[in-house]
Amino acid sequence: MGAQMASRLVGTGQNVMVYNRSVAKAEPLRQLGAAVASTPAEVTSTCDLVFAMLADPKAAKAVAMDGPDSAVAGIAARPASAQPVTYVDCSTVDAATGEQVGNAITAAAPRTGFLAAPVSGGWRDARDGTLLFLCGGHQTAYEAAVPGLDAMGSRRWLLGSTPGDAARAKLMLQVMMGNIVGSLAEMMALSKAAGLDEAAILEVLGESAMANPLCKAKGELMRKNDYKPNFQVYLQQKDLRLALQLADDLGVPAPISAASNGQYIRARQMGFADKDFAAVRAAYEAEALNEPETEDA
C-alpha cells in the first residue's frame, strides 16, 4: 500500500522522500525518482508534508515515536525557521493509538499539524489513485494534506476534529467488509457441500438485491482458490479485533463480528495469514484443514 501511494506522489512531480522498515522495498521508488531515507527522522526533518502507512498500531507508534530515529525526533530537530510539518497517518489503528501518535507529533514542535487519514481500498486502488480517505483532525492539517490526498485518492472526508473520529469511522467499514466476505465464504462452502454449481450461484447473487462489487470479486477468488493478496487475512483480522475492542468499550454487542473474527483467526492458523482475505473460505473446508500446504493450488 505505502509503495503504491508513494508512487502516486512521485508522479505529481514533487520532490518525494521515502522510508521503509524493509529497505529493499524502497528501491523501486528510488528508480522512479524518489530519495530514500535511512530513518523516519530523516523524512520528517526534511519534508513539510509527511504520509505514514503502517500495518498496525505497534508499527504506527514505533515509526512515529520510538527513539532518536523516530518521526517525532526529526520534527523536533528542524530549525525554528523551517516550515511547520503536517504529519498524516493513513494507517488503520484504534482511536487510542491515533490520539497517542497525534499528541506526540504535535508536541514535537510549534505549529506541527497531525491528521489521521485511514484509507478504504487495496493496493490496486492505491496504484490507480482511487483510495478513499476518512480523515480526523484540525481543518488546517486537513487543508495542508489535500494535495497529497487528491494525488492518491478519489474521495476524502473530514469526519471530525480528532484522530479518534477517523479511526472509529474506518473500523465501521472494516466491520462490514469482514462480515460480508465471511458470510460469502460460508455461503460458498455450503453451496459446494450441497453439490451446487458455485459459478451459477455467484451469477444469481450478482443479479439479486445482494449484488455488490466486493462479493463479485471475492466470490470469484473463492471459486478459483486464487488468493494472491490484495488485502491480507491478517490485516482484516486485525481490523475486526480492533472493532471488537471498540464494541466492548462502548458496551455494544457484536456477535456477528465476533464469529467472523474467529474464522479469520482459523484461516491464519491454517497458514493463510498473508493471502487475500477471501481465503477465509479455507476455514470452512475440511480438506484444507488437513492439507494446508495446498493453499496455492
CA 273 to chain centre: 15
The pLDDT-based confidence of 123 (bands split at 50, 70, 90) is confident
Domains of the chain in sequence order = 2-161 (3.40.50.720), 168-294 (1.10.1040.10)
User: What are the tens digits of pLDDT across the range 18-31?
Assistant: 999 988 999 999 99
Average pLDDT over residues 2-11: 94
CA 149 to chain centre: 15
Q: Decide: pTM greater than 0.75.
A: yes
Average pLDDT over residues 50-71: 95
What pLDDT was estimated at residue 294? 46
The pLDDT-based confidence of 286 (bands split at 50, 70, 90) is low
**Is 25 tagged catalytic?**
no
Widest Cα–Cα separation across the chain = 71
CB 133 within 8 A of CB 155: yes
Beta-bridge partner residues of 134: 157
The one catalytic residue among 25, 61, 170, 192:
170
What pLDDT was estimated at residue 297? 39
Distance of alpha carbon 269 from alpha carbon 292, whole angstroms: 10
The pLDDT-based confidence of 292 (bands split at 50, 70, 90) is very low
Residue 142 reports pLDDT greater than 90? yes
User: What are the tens digits of pLDDT across the range 206-263?
Assistant: 999 999 999 999 999 999 999 998 889 999 999 999 999 999 999 999 999 999 999 9
Q: Alpha-carbon dihedral of residues 234, 229, 25, 149, nearest 10 degrees?
A: -90
